[in-house]
């Protein structure tokens, strides 16, 4: 054990954070860029099914494991008339999408997306437009989607070819309504009141639905905190979740400082939890508001190009917006963000990687050509596949480094999950060090008899390495050997700048 540092962790099956809601592995598909058109939907593509959905994309989405997908926005939804997207396709209007300065053909709408989510083994998380519209359009959409039939809008759905209701459970009350870029942007009082009114009417249509209120668009909004407190004060009874959004960019940061950004995600989550519980205690209520981290990712490579397209090439159908090309280090930060979500599994019940296809996305497509996986695909897939069950309250003792923003950044970012049914424990770990491997020593306590089943690593000699349509496998995970459990102690080596999944199982002894 030379040339590296040692980090120690303790796992105990009796010390738990909470049950992991599978919906933290949710995704997001907005009518933006090529997410829908030439993303999930491309009639004429060699793999397209009879509805025009690309099977190659669907295969990747199913492999990724995305139990819920937020739709149709995002900023897009604040100017969207949902009625434009249902009924005979040849009668659907072509609209200016003011949010992304694009042209929306409305070829894909709520019903098509419902079919797609079924094919993707997923479910819909629908947003209503609280920018240009209000209570009425919202209650009508819930009726259209969830009412069995016999009423105006539910019968319209049936006429449109969908005899069975879509039964959408989770609904977003608008999107980022505090943002000055949002069509119909609102003050906290305006939004809190409208969220209460619309939410109340939506739940009268279907009392079984769950509602997500908009939190601040990011922790850096000048109204952060006060926004959440005011909105919850006005709409507490009517909502179930409050949303959080975060995109990290690299700017002038070096790799260690960049990878440290996920500490801000922990702080963000904990700040919002404290606001929810403050309002709860002030109102003397038992009901808790949970968190929906429904936009999170890394986004900075394409910003300039996005601006150029919107300013100089406005009003295209499906312009190539936000087509990030993710590097290894981006994947590591995404991995840290996944770990942050798991560390707050007691309160974060929904999270959506933003987005799923082409637009700041793990899955990319070439129109008429193949679909391929970005670097960030892998941490997400690992977490979704192996990070089920219970999040464990892991003790971590890691060496640290200094950073201009955070005094002490641990080299090791890690969390463990425990799948009691299958007797499996997964340790997700990032080594933030760019020079040294990190030696991991784990005290497994009462997980007697557990051994290492597999140690997966995503790493690369070049932290800026990316995948592409031509080189889709440049960055991809591999198995490493040598990790083991000896006398109840886990021993493993995490390479420099690496994402690791160490899967322990009672079925194998080390």
Where is 234: in which H helix or E strand? helix 226-235
- How many Å apart are CA 113 and CA 71, to the nearest integer? 8
Where would I find the H helices in 284-349? Answer: 303-312, 328-343
For residue 302, the SS3 value is coil
For the bound state, the minimum distance from the C-beta of residue 174 to its own copies, rounded and expressed in Å, comes to 13
| DSSP conformation letters of 64-120 | H--S-EEES-SGGGGG--GGGGSS-GGGPPPEEETTTTEEE--SS-HHHHHHHHHHT
Q: Of the candidates 379, 405, 362, which has an alpha carbon nearest to the alpha carbon of residue 219?
A: 405
Q: Could you list the residues that contact its own copies (CB under 8 A)?
A: 79, 93-96, 98-99, 101, 103, 131-136, 139, 143, 147, 150-152, 155, 180, 183-185, 187, 190, 193, 196-197, 200-201, 204-205, 237, 315
Contacts (Cβ under 8 Å, ≥6 apart) of 478: 456, 457
Q: Which residues contact 320 (CB under 8 A, 6 or more apart)?
A: 33, 34, 309, 358
In angstroms, give the least distance from the CB of 89 to its own copies. Answer: 15
Q: How far apart are CA 411 and CA 400, in angstroms?
A: 5
Q: How far is the C-alpha of 454 from the C-alpha of 417, rounded, in Å?
A: 15
Evaluated on CA atoms 281, 282, 286, 292, the torsion sign reads: negative
User: Could you confirm whether 481 is annotated as catalytic?
Assistant: no
For its own copies, the closer of residues 138 and 333 by Cβ is 138
Comparison of 31 and 301: residue with beta carbon closer to its own copies: 31
Tokens 């087509």 belong to 323
Extract the tokens encoding 252.
């002038």
- What are the residues facing 53 on neighbouring strands? 41
Largest Cα–Cα separation, the chain? 73
Please report how close the Cβ of residue 319 comes to its own copies at its closest, in angstroms.
Answer: 14
Nearer to its own copies, 226 or 462 (CB): 226
Residue labelled with tokens 């009392």: 207
In angstroms, give the least distance from the CB of 349 to its own copies. Answer: 26
112 assigned to active site:
no
First to last CA, the chain: 20
Shortest Cβ distance from residue 202 to its own copies (Å)? 9
185 or 406: whose CB is closer to its own copies? 185
Task: Provide the minimum distance between the beta carbon of 508 and its own copies in the complex, in angstroms, as a whole number.
Answer: 52
In angstroms, give the least distance from the CB of 94 to its own copies. 5
Nearer to its own copies, 139 or 349 (CB): 139
Q: Closest CB to its own copies among 139 and 166?
A: 139
Catalytic residue among 83, 143, 176, 493: 176
Helices (H), 419-509: none
Least Cβ distance, residue 155 to its own copies (angstroms): 7
Q: How far is CA 325 from CA 241, 328, 374, in A?
A: 32, 10, 7
> Is the bond preceding residue 74 a cis peptide, omega within 30 degrees?
yes
Return the closest-CA partner of residue 30 out of 68, 73, 63. Answer: 73
Task: Please choose, from the candidates 261, 335, 302, 326, the residue with its C-alpha nearest in 3D space to the C-alpha of residue 463.
Answer: 326
Cα–Cα distance for residue pair 139/133, rounded to 1 Å? 11
Helix (H, G, I), strand (E, B) or coil at 486: strand
In the bound state with its own copies, the residue whose beta carbon lies nearer, of 101 and 445, is 101
CB of 486 to its own copies, least distance (A): 59
Between 151 and 510, CB nearer to its own copies: 151
Catalytic choice (228, 295, 329, 413): 295
Shortest separation between residue 144's beta carbon and its own copies, angstroms: 11
Q: Which residue lies nearer to its own copies by CB, 102 or 398?
A: 102
Rank residues 79 and 410 by Cβ distance to its own copies and give the closer one: 79
Task: Report the distance separating Cα 396 and Cα 399, nearest Å.
Answer: 10
**Residues carrying an active site annotation:** 176, 295
């Amino acid at each position: 054990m030379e040339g590296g540092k040692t980090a120690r962790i303790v796992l105990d099956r009796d010390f738990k954070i909470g049950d992991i809601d599978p919906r933290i592995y949710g995704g997001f598909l907005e009518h933006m860029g090529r997410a829908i058109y030439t993303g999930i939907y491309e009639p004429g593509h060699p793999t397209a099914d009879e509805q025009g959905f690309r099977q190659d994309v669907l295969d990747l989405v199913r492999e990724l494991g995305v139990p819920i997908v937020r739709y149709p926005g995002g900023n897009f939804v604040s100017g969207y008339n949902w009625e434009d997207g249902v009924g005979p396709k040849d009668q659907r209007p072509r609209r200016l999408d003011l949010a992304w300065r694009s042209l929306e053909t409305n070829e894909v709408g709520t019903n098509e997306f419902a079919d797609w989510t079924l094919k993707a083994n997923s479910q819909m998380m629908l947003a209503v437009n609280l920018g240009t519209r209000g209570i009425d359009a919202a209650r009508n959409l819930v009726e259209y989607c969830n009412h069995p039939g016999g009423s105006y809008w539910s019968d319209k759905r049936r006429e449109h070819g969908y005899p069975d209701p879509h039964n959408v459970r989770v609904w977003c009350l608008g999107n980022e309504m505090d943002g000055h870029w949002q069509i119909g942007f609102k003050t906290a009082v305006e939004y809190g009141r409208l969220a209460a009114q619309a939410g109340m009417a939506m739940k009268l249509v279907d009392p079984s639905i769950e509602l997500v209120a908009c939190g601040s668009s990011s922790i850096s909004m000048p109204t952060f905190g006060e926004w959440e407190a005011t909105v919850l004060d006005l709409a507490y009874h009517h909502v179930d979740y409050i949303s959080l959004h975060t995109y990290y960019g690299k700017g002038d940061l070096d790799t260690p400082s960049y990878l440290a950004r996920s500490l801000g995600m922990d702080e963000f989550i904990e700040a919002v939890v404290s606001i929810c519980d403050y309002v709860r205690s002030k109102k003397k209520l038992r009901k808790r508001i949970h968190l929906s981290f429904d936009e999170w990712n890394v986004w900075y490579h394409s910003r300039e190009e996005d601006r150029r397209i919107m300013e100089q090439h406005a009003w295209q159908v499906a312009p190539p917006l936000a087509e990030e090309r993710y590097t290894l280090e981006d994947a590591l930060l995404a991995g840290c963000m996944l770990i942050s979500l798991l560390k707050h599994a007691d309160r974060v019940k929904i999270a959506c990687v933003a987005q799923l296809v082409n637009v700041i996305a793990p899955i990319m497509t070439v129109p008429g050509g193949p679909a391929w996986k970005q670097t960030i695909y892998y941490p997400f897939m690992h977490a979704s596949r192996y990070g089920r069950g219970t999040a464990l309250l892991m003790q971590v003792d890691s060496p640290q480094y200094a950073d201009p923003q955070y005094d002490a950044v641990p080299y090791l970012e890690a969390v463990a999950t425990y799948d009691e049914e299958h007797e499996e424990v997964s340790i997700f770990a990032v080594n933030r060090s760019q020079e040294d491997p990190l030696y991991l020593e784990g005290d497994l306590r009462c997980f007697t008899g557990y051994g290492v089943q597999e140690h997966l690593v995503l790493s690369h000699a070049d932290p800026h390495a990316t995948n592409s349509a031509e080189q889709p496998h440049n960055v991809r995970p591999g198995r490493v050997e040598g990790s083991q459990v000896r006398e109840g102690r886990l021993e493993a080596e995490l390479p420099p700048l690496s994402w690791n999944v160490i899967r322990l199982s009672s079925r194998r002894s080390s």
